[in-house]
Chain A
């Protein structure tokens, strides 16, 4: 039975790992459904009153909110609007009799300043974060693995070149580099963020993969492959890479977490995704002003969604790393 199956079996015996894998899959499913438009499509619509209360708060508080929401608008000085009746009729005809402008005063997780549903925003944010996390991690892993394999296997000037590139990129602290690139790439958007994170985040993976290749290059099974006539390319990718893949996978997983957190910071600062989409970071960006007013549900939603996703991912990564550990074979 091959080593992947053995690792799989070992993984399944770790209930923490399995539980976190289930949570991760749930998040992925959520993100996928959101991306396909099945849910949270109307996240940006004004469906509630400003700062509508979440439904899990005490009834008295909701009463207070409802009162506040239905109170007389600011600019009513007590003068009756002569055209009110006609306007109401036009409105109802336009909307086919549906109650126009009926804004909810209570939502599952409340609403933000513009009356947008916080729950839906959180779900949409999941889509953004996971997309960015996976795509950027994929890009960074691809680059890091390729560079590391070449540098570790061939050595000499190839190694020197990649080491030089590595030292240049790592001389600049990660977030600073990311911000600098963000400052320069004026336009925002998911693709930009993915590129920023992916093109700067390959260094950790590079170092590990390079070390692995240096170690494996002199192992006897590689020498044996050389002895039977395997070419350099074959040795690098058909022989060594499968033996290094467990390191790569764990790194991929770790970087998904790292990039989700980085994207949140970027979006918070305004350098991440644009205003046409929402991220947990942009939700957090609205938090300071909300907290002063005592409205805490948006920050709670964003934080719990993020904490749950990242914790699940981290635990999953730990369990996967233990299951894949070659020393246990």
Chain B
């Protein structure tokens, strides 16, 4: 028995067709995962169920809930359904909650609206809900504003708001994507427990295939507005019929299937840090980190948000001045070296491909600028030629020279950023979450590129990431950071096979498998 039946849903935004004829069912007490990369139309599909699309969207098709076609309901009937029959949880809890009202108020609103409870009843019910979603000290939390809660707590509050009126269907749109990996697991466990206890149906939207097997029985794979494949999780995962599905499955960095790199030989130490520390306005972001990095090796730096890993990476490139400790490059004090000379040898690739290239510079200008600043290439023509070589090294055509960043995809922009870093032929490349913002299929391609480049040039990498699977693939040695401190370090093999510190263990256990 399906509680939700979508039939031939189409959604257009003026010229763009976001959803092109999608049909699927959600069984009455079951969970369906709606999977796809960016641009697949999964979020638009979810929003159209509750009629929450922006005003410039045109939708057609049938959406049957409990026998009624939602698209034919009057506004009042639809409103009665929202939050009561069907509820939704969104991706970004910080912006999805009203910043000027307490969470107690916001959760209570749903109760007052649909159930007409008195103030005292509402308060009691809200406290129950807060406890049910696992928020500690619910009496105090009742009065708190969203910004006073952590990301995980905010999401719990959102969930409380969604389940307040006992909906039959819960739509969760990437509810954990904005959260740290340890918190992700907690929230997923919470959602699973709630669903089991309340026997809700759930439509779970995500881009992460690894989550799907943990949480859903059925899966629907979408790409560019259409469904590529759907079926039970077992069917789709073990015997995918569609090429795209297969590609997605293969691209998953499945942590258990990845081999750690074998450390070979003894390369000379290139970079050494001792007690590096950095404070901002009295708050310590990094509290004394020490490590060594040898030529041609990759040091993986792992941690969640707030661990200080990015700050450490920026210190290594001298973009941040350390508050304490020292950094030695081939034995020399890195901070005594002249600025340009140092930057010639240490380069960085940033996380956000949409922000790391100057939108007003052509690709050619971006690539030739470092050359010009360091005196590489006798004239502009020679520099252009060198730029073309760089582009081909990262797999981009020469014509890209005259184009602008907005004409390229995220993955292509990252390649350009890598090419820019390579233009100086550095010895050390810091990759600060360099693939984290990319779709999983693109991630794999870029990691391949990085490994190939390392083999060709014997560059060392400081590879910073929160994604343990990716780090496992790339690193020879690993450092784990938490709250500004290095809690554990060792070879990749040691860390992944036999983690010693409790935090490292929690981290590894939280990775979806």
Direct A–B contact in the complex, CB atoms closer than 8 angstroms: yes
* B15 at interface, CB cutoff 8 A: no
Q: Which residues of B contact A225 (CB under 8 A)?
A: 358, 369
Binds B, one of A144-152, A172-180, A215-223, A315-323: A215-223
**Does A329 lie within 8 Å of B420, measured CB to CB?**
no
**Does A224 lie within 8 Å of B350, measured CB to CB?**
yes
B504 to chain A, nearest CB (A): 29
A-B contact count (CB 8 A): 70
Binds B, one of A23-31, A86-94, A226-234: A226-234
CA distance A209 to B351 in the complex (A): 26
**Does A224 lie within 8 Å of B348, measured CB to CB?**
yes
* B374 at interface, CB cutoff 8 A: yes
CA distance A225 to B406 in the complex (A): 18
**Does A329 lie within 8 Å of B359, measured CB to CB?**
yes
List A residues 242-281 near B (Cβ within 8 Å): 242-243
A149 to chain B, nearest CB (A): 16
Residue among A2, A6, A219, A227 making CB contact with B348, cutoff 8 Å? A227
**Does B352 lie within 8 Å of A229, measured CB to CB?**
no
B257 to chain A, nearest CB (A): 33
Closest to B343 in A: A229
- Residues 3-44 of chain B, each 1 if its beta carbon lies under 8 Å from chain A, else 0: 000000000000000000000000000000000000000000
**Does A3 lie within 8 Å of B360, measured CB to CB?**
yes
Q: Which residues of A contact B359 (CB under 8 A)?
A: 3, 221, 243, 326, 329
**Does B358 lie within 8 Å of A229, measured CB to CB?**
no
- Residues 1-25 of chain A, each 1 if its beta carbon lies under 8 Å from chain B, else 0: 1110010000000000000000000
**Does A221 lie within 8 Å of B420, measured CB to CB?**
no
* A239 at interface, CB cutoff 8 A: yes
**Does A2 lie within 8 Å of B370, measured CB to CB?**
no
Q: Which residues of A contact B317 (CB under 8 A)?
A: 227
A247 to chain B, nearest CB (A): 13
**Does A242 lie within 8 Å of B360, measured CB to CB?**
yes
Q: Given known contacts A2-B404, A229-B373, is B350 in contact with A243 (CB within 8 Å)?
A: no
Residue among A6, A220, A242, A326 making CB contact with B352, cutoff 8 Å? A220
**Does A227 lie within 8 Å of B373, measured CB to CB?**
no
A residues contacting the other copy or chain, number (CB 8 A): 20
Q: Given known contacts A227-B347, A229-B373, is B357 in contact with A3 (CB within 8 Å)?
A: no
Q: Which residues of A contact B347 (CB under 8 A)?
A: 227-228
**Does B356 lie within 8 Å of A221, measured CB to CB?**
yes
CA distance A70 to B127 in the complex (A): 93
A70 to chain B, nearest CB (A): 66
**Does A221 lie within 8 Å of B406, measured CB to CB?**
no
Q: Given known contacts A2-B404, A229-B340, is B369 in contact with A221 (CB within 8 Å)?
A: no
Residue among A2, A224, A329 making CB contact with B417, cutoff 8 Å? A224
* B424 at interface, CB cutoff 8 A: yes
Q: Which residues of B contact A226 (CB under 8 A)?
A: 319
Closest to B369 in A: A228
**Does A220 lie within 8 Å of B350, measured CB to CB?**
yes
**Does B350 lie within 8 Å of A3, measured CB to CB?**
no
Question: Which one of B339, B362, B373 has the highest number of Cβ atoms from chain A below 10 Å of its Cβ?
Answer: B373
Q: Which residues of B contact A219 (CB under 8 A)?
A: 355
A181 to chain B, nearest CB (A): 37
**Does A228 lie within 8 Å of B420, measured CB to CB?**
yes
Q: Which residues of B contact A224 (CB under 8 A)?
A: 348, 350, 356-358, 417, 420
B11 to chain A, nearest CB (A): 21
Q: Which residues of B contact A223 (CB under 8 A)?
A: 314, 319, 348, 350, 356
**Does B370 lie within 8 Å of A221, measured CB to CB?**
no
CA distance A243 to B403 in the complex (A): 17
**Does B358 lie within 8 Å of A221, measured CB to CB?**
yes
Q: Which residues of A contact B319 (CB under 8 A)?
A: 223, 226-227
Q: Given known contacts A220-B356, A228-B420, is B373 in contact with A2 (CB within 8 Å)?
A: no
CA distance A1 to B403 in the complex (A): 6
**Does A1 lie within 8 Å of B350, measured CB to CB?**
no
Q: Which residues of B contact A227 (CB under 8 A)?
A: 317, 319, 343, 347-348, 421
Q: Given known contacts A223-B319, A226-B319, A227-B319, is B369 in contact with A243 (CB within 8 Å)?
A: no
A315 to chain B, nearest CB (A): 23
Q: Which residues of A contact B417 (CB under 8 A)?
A: 224
Q: Which residues of B contact A242 (CB under 8 A)?
A: 358, 360
CA distance A94 to B420 in the complex (A): 82
- Residues 267-301 of chain A, each 1 if its beta carbon lies under 8 Å from chain B, else 0: 00000000000000000000000000000000000
Closest to B350 in A: A220
Q: Given known contacts A219-B355, A221-B358, is B350 in contact with A228 (CB within 8 Å)?
A: no
**Does A3 lie within 8 Å of B404, measured CB to CB?**
yes
CA distance A326 to B405 in the complex (A): 13
**Does B373 lie within 8 Å of A230, measured CB to CB?**
yes
B271 to chain A, nearest CB (A): 16
Q: Which residues of A contact B403 (CB under 8 A)?
A: 1
A158 to chain B, nearest CB (A): 18
Closest to A329 in B: B406
B102 to chain A, nearest CB (A): 30
B199 to chain A, nearest CB (A): 43
Residue among B340, B356, B360 making CB contact with A243, cutoff 8 Å? B360
CA distance A6 to B347 in the complex (A): 32
Instruction: For the A-B complex with A219-B355, A220-B352, A223-B356 known, give 5 more contacts whose Cβ atoms are closer than 8 Å.
Output: A1-B407, A221-B355, A224-B356, A227-B348, A229-B339
Question: Which 3 A-B pairs have CB atoms at the shortest separation, nearest pair first?
Answer: A228-B370, A242-B360, A220-B356
Chain B positions near chain A (C-beta within 8 angstroms): 314, 317, 319, 339-340, 343-344, 347-348, 350-352, 355-362, 369-370, 373-374, 403-404, 406-407, 417, 420-421, 423-424
16 A–B contacts from the bound complex (CB under 8 Å) = A1-B404, A6-B406, A220-B352, A221-B355, A221-B359, A223-B314, A223-B319, A224-B348, A224-B350, A225-B358, A227-B317, A227-B343, A228-B424, A229-B339, A230-B369, A239-B358
